[in-house]
Structure 1
Amino acid sequence: MIDRRGLRAEVLLVLGVSLGSSAIYAILRIIDRLTFVKPLSEQTATLNPSVTPDRPWLDLAYQLAGVTLGVVPALLAVHLLGRTTPPSAIGLDLRRPGFDLGTGAALAALIGLPGLGLVWLSREIGISAQIVPAALEPVWWAVPVLILAAIQNAVLEEVVMIGYLLTRLRDLGWNGWVAIVTSAVIRGSYHLYQGFGAGFAGNVVMGLVFGYFFRRTQRVMPLIVAHTLLDVVAFVGYALLKDHLAFLR
């Protein structure tokens, strides 16, 4: 017999130490932005800043610590889920590399290309801050760290918000689409610090697509691949091209 009360507590605790708390802080941040003297469109949201730009060795240590500790909630979710559901049951394995890589790339293109248009439109109509995907100093380790940050984001978000949350909500008897919409809204909420366009609406759409895909395939690996590719293009592309393309500045 399923201990529903215990599962509900588990879900709330996992979200509370991971992306649920990020959503609360993001909501507070967007309230701060909306009540600030500058309009939202004139503010900046920086995703990967330097911590100690004057001491690159310490900055690298901070970046690596952030990446390492950032995946801990995902490992916790997998550990707790493993009591009833093995990782292979959510497709968190390497059994289908061709499918995972190919489908992940296709999903990245499906989400990423319209996403670029949404980023531009959001800025034009003033519902988004200026997003700076990377603000590390031009040091040798910047690109590898940005790639690691992209992988960390993908593992954390897709394991917790899709593999773990949708499985646990199913165990609790939730309707499939209600669970997918709930997951997608939480995903959008913890991106609210960027604004209402690509930050919130874009990520809600991404959550709906990813949630539906997972419901049909029960594989989270293609979603990790897709999310990693999206973030690598955003982070590394911005870092390499910002000094050459005026519209990125």
Structure 2
Amino acid sequence: MTGPTDDLLPDPRKRAIRLEIAVVLAVTFGLSAYTAFVSLIEAVLLGLSGQKVTLNRKLSPIDLINLALNLASVFQLIAWGLLGLYLLWRSGFGPSRIGLGRFRWRPDLLGGLGLAALIGIPGLGLYVAGRALGIGVAVVPSELGDTWWRIPVLLMVAFANGWAEEVVVVAFFMTRLRQLGLSPTVVLVTSSLLRGAYHLYQGFGAGVGNVVMGLVFGYAWRRTGRLWPLIVAHGLIDAVAYVGYALLAGHLGWLDVTP
């Protein structure tokens, strides 16, 4: 299939594209990969299996301030995705060309559900295996407490994650790498390694699992040209983890993440 990544740039433009990639990654998931790697080193030095990481933290003892600060992370993720979308648009890659045209319920929603099941169920098993083998940290999806805005905000964070990661790491990054002349296989692997890198703060198992997720998602996008199913799938995976933990952690013993 001819995808949205087939427009190669002339040599004089490649330097600008390399700079653009560097700048975007420096303020988005490249920086996240750096901090994740540093966090992994710290966790290994302190004893990886005994460490704990919280994904959605309580940021203030004042409820409305806590809400405002957690919403800020949602706004940041939306802005990251919009940055990638804007840079692609201004260079001729409008939303339709990268798979963000009109949402089509059957292929986009059902495709997203299928991808979520394909990745989410084995991903849970990989997390449990990683904890058992001592190569993963204890992940607490939420510590927001029983507040009235907890579930809506967790859902917003989940789908904001999906929006930002799939627009930047798949649509933007893969498109730009193809324009630089890299082969489809190298582009897919590079994007997947980036995805795995910025999840290393959760341990080696999470890094490997997200590389696999990147390979599957990147291949699906390249084959179908649709980005919506990836965003839906990613949002659903995170939503189940966040909301499921928030609702069930006190009732199911196996959800105890005490290191």
User: What is the TM-score of this pair, normalised by structure 1?
Assistant: 0.96
Which residue of the partner structure matches residue 169 of structure 1?
177
Give the aligned CA root-mean-square deviation in angstroms: 0.9
For 1:56 and 1:98, locate their aligned partners in 2 and report how far apart those are by CA, in whole Å.
40
Shift of 1:64: 1.1
Instruction: Note the residue ranges of structure 1 that are not aligned, 5 or more in a row.
Output: none
Which residue of the partner structure matches residue 221 of structure 1?
228
For 1:95 and 1:206, locate their aligned partners in 2 and report how far apart those are by CA, in whole Å.
22
Aligned to 2:35, which of 19, 22, 25? 25
Shift of 1:163: 0.8
Which residue of the partner structure matches residue 203 of structure 2?
195
Partner amino acid for 1:151? F
User: What is the TM-score of this pair, normalised by structure 2?
Assistant: 0.93
Which residue of the partner structure matches residue 211 of structure 1?
218
Shift of 1:93: 2.4
Equivalenced residues, count: 245
Aligned to 1:141, which of 141, 149, 155? 149
Match status 1:13 vs 2:20: no
Partner amino acid for 1:143? I
For 1:66 and 1:6, locate their aligned partners in 2 and report how far apart those are by CA, in whole Å.
29
Which residue of the partner structure matches residue 106 of structure 1?
114
Which residue of the partner structure matches residue 233 of structure 1?
240
Which residue of the partner structure matches residue 5 of structure 2?
none
Shift of 1:69: 1.9
For 1:229 and 1:95, locate their aligned partners in 2 and report how far apart those are by CA, in whole Å.
16
Q: Deviations over 1:127-174 (max 9, x none)?
A: 000011111121010000000000110001000000111111111111
Match status 1:88 vs 2:96: yes
Q: Displaced runs of 4+ in structure 1, greater than 4 A?
A: none
Aligned to 2:67, which of 38, 57, 60? 60
Partner amino acid for 2:193? V
Identity %: 48
Instruction: Note the residue ranges of structure 2 that are not aligned, 5 or more in a row.
Output: 1-8
CA contact (8 A) 2:178 2:187 kept: yes
Shift of 1:95: 4.1
Partner amino acid for 2:28? S
Partner amino acid for 2:175? T
Shift of 1:84: 2.2
Which residue of the partner structure matches residue 252 of structure 2?
245
CA contact (8 A) 2:77 2:163 kept: no
Shift of 1:97: 2.5
Partner amino acid for 1:241? L
Q: Could you tell which deviates more after superposition, 140-149 or 71-80?
A: 71-80
Shift of 1:12: 1.0
Q: Deviations over 1:178-232 (max 9, x none)?
A: 01100101100000000001x1011000000001111111111100000000000
For 2:242 and 2:42, locate their aligned partners in 1 and report how far apart those are by CA, in whole Å.
25
For 2:217 and 2:203, locate their aligned partners in 1 and report how far apart those are by CA, in whole Å.
21
Aligned to 1:44, which of 25, 33, 52? 52
CA contact (8 A) 2:103 2:228 kept: no
Describe how 1:150-189 pairs up with structure 2 within 5 A: 150-189=158-197
